[in-house]
Amino acid sequence: MSLFTGSAVALITPFHDGAVDYTAMTRLIELQIASGTDAIVALGTTGEAATLMQDEREEVIRFVVERVSNRIPVIVGTGSNNTEDAIQKSRFAEAVGADGLLIVTPFYNKTTQEGLLAHYSSIAEQVRLPIILYNVPSRTGLNIKPETVKKLVRSCENIVGIKEASGDISQITQLAAICPECDIYSGNDDQVVPILSIGGKGVISTIANIHPEAMHMMCKAYEEGDTEEARRLQLALLPLQQAAFCEVNPIPIKTMMGLLKLCDPEVRLPLVKPSLEHYELMENTLREYGML
């Protein structure tokens, strides 16, 4: 059974004066649930997990799980380039009531495909929660091959899917062909409908932070057989998606959320404010969509 189908928001972590802003986080969670979002992913790339200290990470996980209160699934990013660290993070998320885990491939020290098998198998043995693999080679420098995903899904009962952000449709199609039991989620907002068309289950979306209804409705329309409406939404959202990735994620999405008064646009170093040119692009794009 799929951990979720449809649109999961890759939730930002709002900051104010350097600290996690739990008032804003409450507002964002309630907005997502009211807008039909199908699941919440906390502490992924968009959530700036890499710059949170351990105590902050744990408090964010507790807070999101408690605030959502079983209304929709909560999936927590627990990846690391240190296998034991990923195990400890995953155990904590399980202990406080998360519904699933999103685990990125190791980065920097990276590994081989055999290393990926050992890494993920070791984590899967230590937790019971469903695990979604996360493939984003543009950030990690490491691509998880379809054959490796197939071996993991078939050897580890709780490895159930993958967030595919490689951008390589040919690779994703190959995975769908050789391992149909693997739930595939688009990791790129501009590839949702193509991935749904080969049997994908949905998207883990950055854009859903500012337009949750549209991302949810795109997936729902496709699931209900209205492929024309899903296609229309995919294409209509393209300029918004392009603006949201004009600089390193999550700089643009937080900037746009600041413009929309959803939260402060604050990011943590080494991330910085966008250039004036990109700021104006984002502002103009939001105006064109009638959101400002």
- Active-site positions read 134, 163
Beta bridge partners of 198: none
In sequence order, the 6+-apart residues with CB closer than 8 A to the CB of 85 are: none
Radius of gyration of the chain (CA): 18
- State the amino acid at position 93 in one-letter form: A
In sequence order, the 6+-apart residues with CB closer than 8 A to the CB of 32 are: 9, 11, 40, 208, 212
Residues 230/222, Cβ–Cβ less than 8 Å: yes
Beta bridge partners of 7: 203
Beta bridge partners of 9: 40, 205
**Distance from C-alpha of 28 to C-alpha of 23, rounded to nearest angstrom:** 9
The length of the chain in residues reads: 292
User: Judging by beta carbons within 10 Å of its beta carbon (0-12, 13-18, 19+), is residue 19 exposed, middle or buried?
Assistant: exposed
Beta bridge partners of 183: 161
**Distance from C-alpha of 201 to C-alpha of 221, rounded to nearest angstrom:** 13
Residues 218/234, Cβ–Cβ less than 8 Å: yes
Q: What is the DSSP string of 142-182?
A: ----HHHHHHHHHH-TTEEEEEE-S--HHHHHHHHHH-TTS
The Cβ-side half-sphere exposure at 161, using a 13 Å CA radius, reads 26
